[in-house]
Amino acid sequence: MIKGGFKGKLLRVNLTTKEVKSEALNEEWAQKYLGGRGYGTRLLLEEIDPKIDPLSEENKVIFATGPLDGTLAPSSGRTMVITKGPLNGAIACSNAGGHFGPALKHTGYDMIVVEGKSAEPVYIWINKGKVEIRSAKEIWGKLADESDELIREQTHPLAETMTIGPAGEKLSRISSVMFNGHRASGRTGVGAAVGSKNLKGIAVRGNEDTPVADPEAFMKAIYKARDILSKDAFAGQGAAMLGTAMLVNVINGVGAFPTNNAQDAYFPEANKISGETLREKNLIRNEGCAECPIACGRVTVVKSGPYKGTIGGGPEYESVWSFGAMCGVSDLDAVISANHLCDKYGIDTISMGSTVACAMELYEKGYMPKEDAPFELRFGSGEAMLKAVELACKQEGDFGKLLAQGSYRLAEHYGHPELSMSAKKQEFPAYDPRGIKGMGLEYATSNRGACHVRGYGTAVEVLGDADQYAYEGKAALIKTLQDLTSALDSSGICLFTTFGLSANELAEMVSTATGFSIDAQEFMKIGERIWNIEKLFNLKAGFTRKDDTLPPRILNEPIKTGPSKGHVEDLGKMLDEYYQLRGWDKDSVPTDEKLKELEVQILK
């Protein structure tokens, strides 16, 4: 029986029939998959055909919390958006900070399952357990942060919101879902899944408490975890001081900072866009998501250019890189402007920056007709980068519409798909696999497409004591980190806690909250189970071993300058070993023995 952590209920909202239903949570699933990403994926496997069009009425979008949301556990305010991903058709889970998750829990529900498609734009208002589907006709077309304000005006000033921007409405495949108007579930195009249902937003406000199974033991566990985090060099000090952009100088310093659409991996002007410079020139204050002692969030102001004076959240390390080095841009104000613009329109910053970089290479190499771009698209121009982001955000003209579909579709359109720096059509983030070998394996095998927050090898390969260029041991490292993150993403807690916390502390918090008997080993097994059912979803959706790959540039073109000069990525060296460690066959299909061990055989 569920004793705590969970509220034990999910809310099902069908936008076609306007039917609203409260259902008991499946306790067996909660035990085997926890909440968030795990539970959501299990539910999708049960209820949708993995082959469907992600933008069709048959797709479902789940907004899920984990058992630690709505408690004092450190950094425990994550909201997971789980759906079949519009960007690539793979299983998608994209999570965000902010305060929506805990507030949803306080309404009495662990998650919301949105089904069907509304004929007219609507938003959902959950007020202390009472649910209304309201017209969003007047809000449709508004920016994500404007929509947050308008919905709170119409509901309650203290409601916490999820909104999409115009990008999600217009079904951009790199569109995001925004929380509190500025925290993003950015990746995999989840905004389009929401937009395809004519759902503009959700507002929640609750008055119930979050129960925990053993309050005394739970408080002991979370104070221990908070203490560890406060003493950690990254989580306790670096991240608060410089935000995640502290990594700019670190990763560039080890020669793994993709530059000019990854034609190189070293950016000589990195210092101009570093966390240090951001702090000195643009930082107003730090922001912490719910219950977060780290507070890596930045609140920044643009100091020059057309968006001078604009205040917003971020930019994160990844966004500084994508609009910065990836486009060869060292104008930090242009980078911050692009970041704030993407948040307002609801577009993923990683995919957007990388898509502009891809366009710049297509343009410079003459692979696209120059007249297709309304202006010169050259690497290094902050002005051109920002104009391209504007075009994509507003989906102006054919080129703007194309940019808003991500780099893969853009490059394919011009006959050069190899220039999209993506895996499974999703743009990879700010770590060049040629310089950090494990990251290539992580990008290639990530179930949702190239991603750094599934198995963050960099934590050990650069920030820890492993050799960044070694192949040995990387398959095991990435597998372990992927399993750990899967369980963590299903607990409602932020990945950054793992800079200080191990599976031991995480399991202690989850078990004392839920009353489930979960030790570190069981926690990792839950993670492995989740990873495997995500893989099963993708296999059913049609993905095969050939999709577990990287752009040819990463495999064949040596890095030209910097500390990693001369390196390429040898993915084959790690991939077979990885499948073997996972208990998968050579075609990346989980063996019956593995599925039996994980008690998920029936899902094959």
Partner 1 sequence: MKVLMLDQAKCTGCRACEYACSFEHTGKFNPLDSRIKVNEFWEDLTFVPSVCLQCERAYCEEVCPTSALTKNPETGVVELNKEKCIGCKQCIVACPWGSIKLDHTGKDVIKCDNCGGDPACIKVCYPGALSYEEVEDITNLKVQETATRLKEIAKDLVKGGA
Please give the residue ranges that form the binding site for partner 1 (CB under 8 A). 70-72, 99, 102, 106, 145, 148-149, 180-182, 207-212, 215, 219, 226, 230, 236, 240, 284-293, 295, 297, 299, 311-313
CB 243 within 8 A of CB 297: yes
Please say which residue, 342 or 436, places its beta carbon nearer to partner 1.
342
Min CB(203)–partner 1 separation in Å: 13
Please say which residue, 223 or 375, places its beta carbon nearer to partner 1.
223
> Scanning the structure block, which residue is given the tokens 């190189």?
264
The DSSP output letter for 589 is P
> Scanning the structure block, which residue is given the tokens 């608060």?
240
Q: Other CB atoms closer than 10 Å to residue 366's CB: what's the count?
A: 8
Could you give the CA distance from residue 599 to residue 535 in angstroms, rounded to a whole number?
Answer: 15
Tokens, residue 462: 């650069």
Please say which residue, 18 or 231, places its beta carbon nearer to partner 1.
231
Please say which residue, 145 or 333, places its beta carbon nearer to partner 1.
145
Min CB(359)–partner 1 separation in Å: 31
Please say which residue, 225 or 362, places its beta carbon nearer to partner 1.
225
What does DSSP say about strands 79-84 and 91-96: parallel, antiparallel, or unpaired?
A: antiparallel
What are the φ and ψ backbone dihedral angles of 487, each rounded to 5 degrees?
-70, -40
Could you give the CA distance from residue 582 to residue 595 in angstroms, rounded to a whole number?
Answer: 11
Please say which residue, 287 or 390, places its beta carbon nearer to partner 1.
287
Could you give the CA distance from residue 511 to residue 465 in angstroms, rounded to a whole number?
Answer: 31
Q: Is 9 exposed, middle or buried (0-12, 13-18, 19+ CB in 10 A)?
A: middle
Tokens, residue 288: 């912490």
DSSP three-state, residue 553: helix
Closest-CA residue to 572 (of 546, 603, 535, 537): 546
Min CB(99)–partner 1 separation in Å: 7
Min CB(124)–partner 1 separation in Å: 19
Min CB(209)–partner 1 separation in Å: 4
Min CB(301)–partner 1 separation in Å: 9
Please say which residue, 4 or 435, places its beta carbon nearer to partner 1.
4
Please say which residue, 152 or 525, places its beta carbon nearer to partner 1.
152
Could you give the CA distance from residue 165 to residue 172 in angstroms, rounded to a whole number?
Answer: 10
| Residue 416 amino acid letter | H
Tokens, residue 160: 């916490």
Closest-CA residue to 462 (of 148, 295, 249): 249
Min CB(18)–partner 1 separation in Å: 29
Residues β-bridged to residue 9:
24
Please say which residue, 191 or 293, places its beta carbon nearer to partner 1.
293
| H-helix segments, 22-80 | 27-33, 36-47
Please say which residue, 76 or 349, places its beta carbon nearer to partner 1.
76
Min CB(387)–partner 1 separation in Å: 26
What does DSSP say about strands 79-84 and 61-64: parallel, antiparallel, or unpaired?
A: antiparallel
Min CB(97)–partner 1 separation in Å: 10
> Scanning the structure block, which residue is given the tokens 């994209």?
94
Min CB(143)–partner 1 separation in Å: 12
Please say which residue, 307 or 379, places its beta carbon nearer to partner 1.
307
Please say which residue, 58 or 149, places its beta carbon nearer to partner 1.
149
* Bond prior to 315 in cis (omega within 30° of 0): yes
Tokens, residue 469: 């260029």
Min CB(4)–partner 1 separation in Å: 10
Closest-CA residue to 44 (of 447, 425, 534, 484): 534
CB 590 within 8 A of CB 476: no
Min CB(288)–partner 1 separation in Å: 3
* Backbone φ/ψ region at 361: left (φ over 0), alpha (ψ -120 to 50), beta: alpha
